Amino acid sequence: MIKIFKTFGGYFEIPQVENGCWINVTQPTAEEIQRISEEFHLPSDIIQDILDADERPRLEIDDTWSLVIIRIPIKSTNNGIPFHTIPLGIFMAENFTMTLCLQNNEILPIEQPSLYRDQYRQISDVINFILRLFLRSGNTYLRYLKEINQQTSIIEQDLEKSIKNRELNKLLKMEKCLVYFITSIKANEIVLAKLRNSKKIVTEINEDLLEDAIIENKQALEMAQIYSDIQSGMMDAFASVISNNLNVVMKQLTLISILLMIPTLIASIFGMNVPNSMENSSLAMPLIIVVSLLLSIISVIFFRKRQWF
């Protein structure tokens, strides 16, 4: 989908491209990709790079355009992994600025792309716009990290009583999310460092915004690393917990088998076709039942004293 706006932030949508406009492209079709390449004279190989889910963040400068690629977080159900990261490309040309992403996202949502409507002001500086994208991306990383932490806490409670690997697999998927986040945030940090060293950050507002974006990015990176370290240790611990829970179940089943074996053994002895001096007694059946129950009760008391049961 292609939407064209008069200014950054998506305040006024316009039908045609005009000088200084912002073009937001999300989930483009093959026809839209061809139109972008031909109408705006952008290289098709660079467009395909941005639409590659594994593309790394970078800063690239050409004679007629400049490109900034960052990685942004999205919610996903792919392979049961709740969060993932994808590239977001920002083309900066003389007459327009284009953002390109292969999926709809919360950084530049296609339904309501205005990110700064509550500020009641337009943004005419493309560098300011890019820095705000970095800042919004950092805030989204932090919010998703809190959701990952909440989901991990729920999985922990289930793991304490589990003897299966299902919860451990859920925890592994959370660990994958954190690995994706850490890798992407580190790569975004390199791009921010290059922007800081460039000569395009000329206004005081942009310098302050750059510092805020760097701080937010570092905070997200530190939180992701902390959560990742905690989960790595937690997975090892809970793997032992699952094994221990299974051992407890096996021990209980073994003790139950022993308790059931006592009356079975007594009944087998007196049920053999050999003389036992009680075959003609009317009290044989009640006596055998009482002895079996007493021996079973004594066994239960013994097991409980030894804390086996």
pLDDT tens readout for residues 108-150: 876 665 555 544 455 667 888 888 888 889 999 999 999 988 8
Decide which of 119, 151, 167 is a domain's last residue: 119
Q: Which two tokens stand for residue 281?
A: 């007694």
CATH of the domain at 75: 3.30.460.20
Cβ(24)–Cβ(5) below 8 Å? yes
Decide which of 119, 146, 174 is a domain's last residue: 119
Q: Strand 21-26 to strand 2-5: parallel, antiparallel, or no bridges (unpaired)?
A: antiparallel
Decide which of 119, 144, 161 is a domain's last residue: 119
Task: Establish if 299 belongs to a structural domain.
Answer: yes
For the full predicted model, state whether its pTM sits above 0.85.
Answer: no
* Separation between Cα atoms, residue 25 and residue 110, nearest integer Å: 8
Could you give the 3-state DSSP secondary structure of residue 279? coil
Task: Establish if 301 belongs to a structural domain.
Answer: yes
Q: Digits of tens for pLDDT over the chain (309 positions)?
A: 888 887 776 667 788 888 878 888 888 888 888 888 888 888 888 888 888 888 888 888 887 888 899 999 988 876 678 888 999 998 888 888 888 888 888 888 766 655 555 444 556 678 888 888 888 899 999 999 999 888 888 887 776 666 566 777 787 888 888 899 999 999 999 988 888 887 666 666 678 888 888 899 999 999 999 988 888 777 777 667 767 777 877 888 888 888 888 888 887 777 776 676 776 777 777 887 888 888 888 888 887 787 766
Q: Which strands sit side by side in the sheet containing 96-101, from one edge to the other?
A: 2-5, 21-26, 96-101, 83-93, 65-75, 58-61
Task: Establish if 107 belongs to a structural domain.
Answer: yes
Task: Establish if 8 belongs to a structural domain.
Answer: yes
Tally of domains in the chain: 2
* Separation between Cα atoms, residue 175 and residue 53, nearest integer Å: 19
Structural domain boundaries enclosing 82: 1-119
Q: Which residue has the tokens 């999300």?
A: 26
Task: Establish if 206 belongs to a structural domain.
Answer: no
Backbone angles phi, psi at 66, to 5 degrees: -125, 150
Task: Establish if 187 belongs to a structural domain.
Answer: no
H or E element: which one contains 22?
strand 21-26
